[in-house]
Structure 1
Amino acid sequence: MVLPLVPLPSSVTESPGTLPLTATTRIVVENEADAAASVLADVIAERTGRRPAAVAGAGHDAIGPGDIVVRRTAREGEHYSLRIGDTVHLEGSDAGLFYAAQTLRQLLTSDGEVWTLPRVEIDDAPRFEYRGVMLDVARTFFDVDTVKAFIDRAASLKFNRLHLHLTDDQGWRLQIDSRPLLTERGSTTAVAARPGGFYSKDDFREIVRYAASRHMVVVPEIDLPGHTHAIGLAYPDLVEMPVMNAGLLTQAKSLGEALPVAGEPYRGTGVGHSSVKVHDDATWDLLRDVLTELAELTPGPFLHIGGDECLGTAQADFDAFIARVTALTTELGKTPIAWHEAGSAQVAEGTIGQYWGSTTPAGAHADHARRFAEGGGSVIMSPSNTAYLDQKYDAAFPLGLEWAALIDLQTAYEWEPTTIVDALPAEAILGVEGPLWSETIETLDDIDQLIFPRVAAIAEVAWSPVEKREWTSFRDRVGLLGAVWDAAGWGGHRPTEIAWSTR
């Protein structure tokens, strides 16, 4: 029997038969598992239209056939177990129980008027500690409700990190009390003719709170020293004049985009033309103000400081900047994350690199990635030709870009994080992230079209044991999730090579 499980658990043992959910099915809450029981009731109600009653555990003698027992254990981490026989038992930490509820949600199937669960025992834990998705809110601004909806989609597939790309040439998206001009002048526009916007500190706190309720840690990014044209709208004396090369000029002409002009909002999509003045004291006064406030707002351990595509900056200046900004981030009590180009510099000890090159590394990309591990850090794998969720499925797809690759579902699935960078120890890979850049998207429906179903492929790469991953198995299992996503109201692309379930 093919079970609709994505990502595939570590261990699955099936038994004959099914367990029906009935009007008398209850959720029995043991050992202060109230939060997990509430999540479980929500997903059952969403899937079946019926919300089971929750009762406090009164000993196993009180548990009846068909009841669902939710038991919180002292064991830390994300491990969980799920046993379905004549009753259902979920056990784990708070995070583990949340993931067990997502697994149970996938297993629910209707047969006419009856909802059933397969009789199965699952013991499960993730392969990688860091399992992330990124949302670019700088090029296109998405409001708090849309970010929450994105969190819901990712959390259902056991992602546990939300990387928010908060700043870029096209806009600055976070309130900074000590530097109000960043939002007053730098947040008003976005790509093309789209409106701008920014998150107040209360907005950001609400995103962080909501993510935490889904066991996701927010990783905020202030992209530096490039991708900083929007800073120049607020503080023109702190940024260099735009530096154009032949590639940027050709791209702007082919797309009919205006070139960047100092002091004017930039609505194009070219990258690499901007930089802060990396040696000016006033620049560092600004960055200390910004990163200090961001660190105070962010309960998670990470601050992403960018470090990519600073094409007009001399290598020695770039390296000096990266060394200093990673040291500042560490001084503020946070672990820096930087795109892999920053590996050219002497980064602060423990800095994490994010690899966005191809699965066949070009130039010095692999060398730069290895440098993070050599400096006591680790690497997040986000190869652009397999993990970038903003790339087109095929040449005719109406949304997305294609500079990295055309990424169909099989391509998004069939890659292995440990084989990309030679001589990078497997234990130095912290995890996997699927970025969604926003040049071509404007709405939640657009987001769904690009992430579903490929985000499920990235989830399995990040969670499941490598020896258990196999394309034809995944193809069959992910098709059975069509009904689950439909019940949640999540749209998306439905490739015709997949047999999509409707119940």
Structure 2
Amino acid sequence: MPLPLVPLPAHVIERPNPDVRIDAATTISGDADTAVLLQSLLEQRTGIRVPIGSVGTVDLRLDDTAAPESYRLDVGNGGIRLSGDAAGLSYGVHTLIQLVQGDADGWRVPSVEIADEPRFAYRGVMLDVARHFFDVTTVRAFIDRAASLKYNHLHLHLSDDQGWRLELHSRPELTARASQTAAGGAAGGFYTQEQYGEIVAYAASRHMTVVPEFDMPGHTHAVTLAYPEITAQPVLSDHIRDVAAAYGGGLPEHGTPYTGMAVGFSSLRTRDAAATTFVRDVFTEVATLTPGPYLHFGGDEALGTDPADFADFVAEVSHEIAALGKTPIAWHEAGAAPGLAPGTIGQYWNFIMPTVGSDERARAFVANGGRLVLSPADAIYLDMKPTADARLGLTWANGPTSVERAYRWEPSDVIAGITDADIFGVEAPLWTETVTDLADIDALVFPRIAAAAEAAWSPATGTLPDRTWDSFRARVGGLGALWTSAGIRFPASEEIVWTT
């Protein structure tokens, strides 16, 4: 049985040395921030509050010469030694916690030697807080769940047709008029600037960077409620009418809150000078609130925007963001625009086998000096139903997405001509049309979030003996007790070999 390590480390050597016990005599020493994290996680897992001192059974050493986000873990000879840069130490702690096992005599850690570092620099999860709003406590819990699997970016989808979720002093009507509704008629909400700062700071404490997204020129019906003069009338298609008939919510009407699930009908008036000013105000203020280097401007499913107007608009927005000293990110449709700011990052959300044109748009970002974040919808969109009879989720991305399908894909194989050097990373999005609270998040996210984490962190499929589906389903099954102790209400997928 392989050790329950997810994502799979780059190098693992199991040794015949005696296990190291975790008991009342255990102590922690070394880097103060990492020691506090380990103390908390050990208590959560074992019930033992291990003291922090100057000399420890577990020694945590900051190594400024280590490769970014890398760590080395050595368990044996009565002690545990962990070293790495600041982020690597944190990731190494989560690896160590996965190794903690219970037996008749208490708690133990098997003797191993691990040397580990990530495959991709960007390892992201996305939380859609626009379709349904989640308070700061829930977002913090989501951050903790993601950090435990070595994710390092939190993409917050802060605006959509159903609501606007961040207070902006330059545009107060957005939260005054466009924040109180959500999908399905649920209550809305928004983050004050202080609350947003709290999320950013908490993410940073877990070595995660917040990537805020304000989607445009489509997905902007909520803006209609605050600034109707800069938004166009909804463009209604037969598809939108079919979605409304199937899921409810009615058809969108200009100036009226929208709580349905259809997409592609809304648009800013992209050639209106007032809309340009609006965009500049939004991103200028968000840039001052966001210490991270990225601003995401959407650019997807703008079916209500003339293609030529769309191309000019997304190019202009990318340059506005670049002028603020930030790197623009956009969904892959924006690759159709020839004038994007050099270095703009594209986020690919089409399928593992691209539909016509989506791969060409994705490659355009690379040709423009940027790179790609891969989020193939039929593999790692976490809001897809895991099984046909699941209570939550949707099925539009090639039907229900099993854990096995979430695992069995290779980032460098998705788009012809794209190699690891062109891939910035992997991101697993959670859209929330059917998700209302943390229990719903857990029910859809786990265990598929672990499969996406392995695609983002671990060496390529087949390069290691345990980088296989059969190994993964056993390894992730060994995390059930750990996840339970962390309060994660994960579904016991029948695809996984669960152990206690």
Q: Is the shorter-chain TM-score for this pair beyond 0.5, marking a shared fold?
A: yes
Code of the residue aligned with 2:71 in structure 1: it is Y
Contact 2:183 2:260 (8 Å CA) reproduced? yes
> 2:490 aligns to what?
492
How many pairs were matched up?
A: 491
> 1:412 aligns to what?
406
1:384 corresponds to which of 372, 377, 388: 377
> 2:24 aligns to what?
23
Code of the residue aligned with 2:357 in structure 1: it is A
> 1:483 aligns to what?
481
CA distance in 1, matches of 2:249, 2:205: 41
Displacement of 1:113: 4.1
> 1:4 aligns to what?
4
> 1:60 aligns to what?
none
> 1:14 aligns to what?
14
Displacement of 1:395: 1.1
CA distance in 2, matches of 1:389, 1:23: 40
> 1:81 aligns to what?
72
Within 5 A, what are the aligned runs for 1:150-229? 150-229=142-221
Q: Do residues 309 (structure 1) and 333 (structure 2) align?
A: no
Displacement of 1:213: 0.4
More moved, 252-261 vs 224-233: 252-261
Instruction: Please give the secondary structure, in 2, of the residue aligned with 1:385.
Output: helix
> 2:444 aligns to what?
450
Displacement of 1:52: 1.1
Instruction: Please give the secondary structure, in 1, of the residue aligned with 2:110.
Output: strand
CA distance in 2, matches of 1:256, 1:283: 30
Code of the residue aligned with 2:72 in structure 1: it is S
Instruction: Please give the secondary structure, in 2, of the residue aligned with 1:219.
Output: strand
Displacement of 1:314: 1.2
Flag structure 1 segments of 5+ consecutive residues without an equivalent.
58-62
Displacement of 1:161: 0.4
1:94 corresponds to which of 83, 86, 91: 86
> 1:54 aligns to what?
52
CA distance in 2, matches of 1:189, 1:315: 30
CA distance in 2, matches of 1:291, 1:234: 17
Contact 2:249 2:258 (8 Å CA) reproduced? no
Instruction: Please give the secondary structure, in 1, of the residue aligned with 2:21.
Output: strand
Flag structure 2 segments of 5+ consecutive residues without an equivalent.
none
> 2:138 aligns to what?
146
> 1:325 aligns to what?
317
> 2:472 aligns to what?
474
Q: Do residues 354 (structure 1) and 344 (structure 2) align?
A: no
CA distance in 2, matches of 1:112, 1:2: 21
> 2:415 aligns to what?
421
Instruction: Please give the secondary structure, in 1, of the residue aligned with 2:53.
Output: strand
Displacement of 1:252: 1.1
> 1:399 aligns to what?
392
> 1:299 aligns to what?
291
1:372 corresponds to which of 365, 368, 373: 365
Instruction: Please give the secondary structure, in 1, of the residue aligned with 2:2.
Output: coil
Post-superposition Cα deviations, 1:105-137, rounded to whole Å, max 9, x if no partner, equal 100001024100000000000000000000000
Q: Do residues 430 (structure 1) and 424 (structure 2) align?
A: yes
2:39 corresponds to which of 30, 38, 41: 41
RMSD of aligned Cα (Å): 0.9
Instruction: With the length of structure 2 as denominator, give the TM-score of the two structures.
Output: 0.97
Instruction: Please give the secondary structure, in 1, of the residue aligned with 2:417.
Output: coil
CA distance in 1, matches of 2:420, 2:455: 14
Instruction: Please give the secondary structure, in 2, of the residue aligned with 1:55.
Output: coil
Post-superposition Cα deviations, 1:184-233, rounded to whole Å, max 9, x if no partner, equal 00001000120010000000000000000000000000001000000010
Post-superposition Cα deviations, 1:275-311, rounded to whole Å, max 9, x if no partner, equal 0000111111111111001000000000000000010
Contact 2:248 2:260 (8 Å CA) reproduced? no
CA distance in 1, matches of 2:73, 2:419: 33
1:70 corresponds to which of 48, 60, 64: 60
CA distance in 2, matches of 1:113, 1:290: 58
CA distance in 2, matches of 1:496, 1:254: 30
Code of the residue aligned with 2:377 in structure 1: it is S
Code of the residue aligned with 2:243 in structure 1: it is Q
Instruction: Please give the secondary structure, in 2, of the residue aligned with 1:326.
Output: helix
CA distance in 1, matches of 2:310, 2:278: 18
Instruction: Please give the secondary structure, in 2, of the residue aligned with 1:54.
Output: coil
Instruction: Please give the secondary structure, in 1, of the residue aligned with 2:476.
Output: helix
Code of the residue aligned with 2:469 in structure 1: it is W
Code of the residue aligned with 1:477 in structure 2: it is R
